[in-house]
C-alpha cells in the first residue's frame, strides 16, 4: 500500500514539474509583438513589476524591435504615474541613450525633467537633486530652443529657482540667528541670484514644491 502511495506521489510530482516546465518554456523565444502586448496588458492592470520583467524579455530577445522605443517610453510614463520616479527616470534615460534621434522635439527630456521635479519631497534635503534638475533644464534649453515643451520647462525652472532661493534665505536666517553674519550674507546673496528679494519668494512648507504654486 505504501509503495502505491509513493508511486502516486512521484507521478503527481512528475506531472506537476512537467507542467511548470512547459509553461516556463512557453515564456521564451516569443515574437516581439507577444512581449509588447503582454507588457501593455500588465501596465493596464498596474502590474508594473511584471511589466518590467516582460520588457526585459522583449529587450533581450529582440534588440532591434520596432516596439522597443514605445515600450521604453510607456514604462517611464507608467512608473511616473505611480510616483516611482527613480524607475521612471531609468526608462527615460534608456530612451535618451538609445532612441533620442526619434525625439526631435525633446519630449522625453522634458518628461525626465518633470519626473525629477515631482520627485522632490523635502525642500531642505534635496539640494543636490534641485541643482541637478536645474542643470538638465539648461541643457534642454540649449539643445531644444524651439521645442513645444520649452514653456513647460521654463515654468518648472522658475519653480525650482524659487525653491532654491527659499532654501538659501532660510539658511541665511539660520546663520543670522547663530550670529554668523558673513555666512548669512553669503547665502542671502545666493538667494538673490536665484530669485530676488525675500518678499518675492512664496513662504514654503513641506512639501515645498506644492506650496510654491498653490
Domain boundaries, the chain: 29-102, 105-214
Q: What is the pTM of this model?
A: 0.74
On the question of pLDDT at 203 being above 90, the answer is no
pLDDT digits (tens, 9 = 90+) for 131-175: 899 999 999 999 999 999 999 999 999 888 887 887 777 777 788
Cα distances (angstroms) measured from residue 42 to each of 53, 78, 209: 10, 11, 32
- pLDDT score recorded for residue 129: 86
User: What's the rounded Cα separation, in Å, for the pair 94 and 92?
Assistant: 5
C-beta contacts of 152-158 below 8 A and 24+ residues apart: 152/110, 152/114, 153/110, 153/113, 156/113, 156/114, 156/117
On the question of pLDDT at 44 being above 90, the answer is yes
> Where is pLDDT greater, at 12 or 107?
107
- pLDDT score recorded for residue 62: 96
Count of Cβ atoms closer than 10 Å to residue 53 Cβ: 15
Residues across the chain: 214
Q: Minimal CA–CA distance to 27: which of 50, 43, 4, 44? A: 50
On the question of pLDDT at 5 being above 80, the answer is no
Q: Is 29-102 a domain of CATH 3.30.499?
A: no
Asked if 212 and 162 count as a contact pair (C-beta separation under 8 A), the reply is yes
Asked if 123 and 202 count as a contact pair (C-beta separation under 8 A), the reply is no
At a CB cut-off of 8 Å and minimum separation 6, what does 202 contact?
162, 166, 211, 212, 213
pLDDT digits (tens, 9 = 90+) for 67-82: 999 999 999 999 999 9
Task: Quote the percentage of the chain above a pLDDT of 70.
Answer: 73
- pLDDT score recorded for residue 122: 57
- pLDDT score recorded for residue 63: 94
- pLDDT score recorded for residue 16: 47
- pLDDT score recorded for residue 26: 59
Amino acid at each position: 500500500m505504501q509503495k502505491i502511495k509513493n508511486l502516486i506521489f512521484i507521478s503527481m510530482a512528475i506531472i506537476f514539474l512537467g507542467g511548470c516546465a512547459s509553461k516556463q518554456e512557453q515564456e521564451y523565444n516569443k515574437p516581439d509583438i507577444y512581449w509588447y502586448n503582454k507588457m501593455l496588458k500588465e501596465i493596464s492592470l498596474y502590474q508594473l513589476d511584471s511589466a518590467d520583467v516582460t520588457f526585459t524579455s522583449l529587450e533581450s530577445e529582440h534588440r532591434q524591435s520596432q516596439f522597443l522605443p514605445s515600450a521604453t517610453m510607456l514604462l517611464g510614463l507608467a512608473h511616473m504615474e505611480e510616483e516611482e520616479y527613480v524607475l521612471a527616470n531609468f526608462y527615460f534615460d534608456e530612451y535618451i541613450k538609445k532612441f533620442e534621434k526619434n525625439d526631435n522635439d525633446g519630449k522625453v527630456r522634458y518628461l525626465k525633467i518633470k519626473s525629477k521635479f515631482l520627485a522632490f519631497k523635502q525642500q531642505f534635503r534635496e539640494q543636490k537633486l534641485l541643482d541637478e534638475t536645474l542643470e538638465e533644464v539648461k541643457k534642454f534649453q540649449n539643445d531644444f530652443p524651439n521645442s513645444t515643451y520649452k514653456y513647460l520647462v521654463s515654468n518648472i525652472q522658475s519653480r525650482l529657482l524659487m525653491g532654491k532661493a527659499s532654501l538659501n534665505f532660510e539658511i541665511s536666517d539660520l546663520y543670522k540667528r547663530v550670529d554668523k553674519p558673513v555666512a548669512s550674507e553669503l547665502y542671502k546673496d545666493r538667494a538673490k541670484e536665484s530669485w530676488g528679494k525675500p518678499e518675492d519668494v512664496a513662504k514654503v512648507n513641506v512639501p515645498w514644491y506644492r506650496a510654491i504654486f498653490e
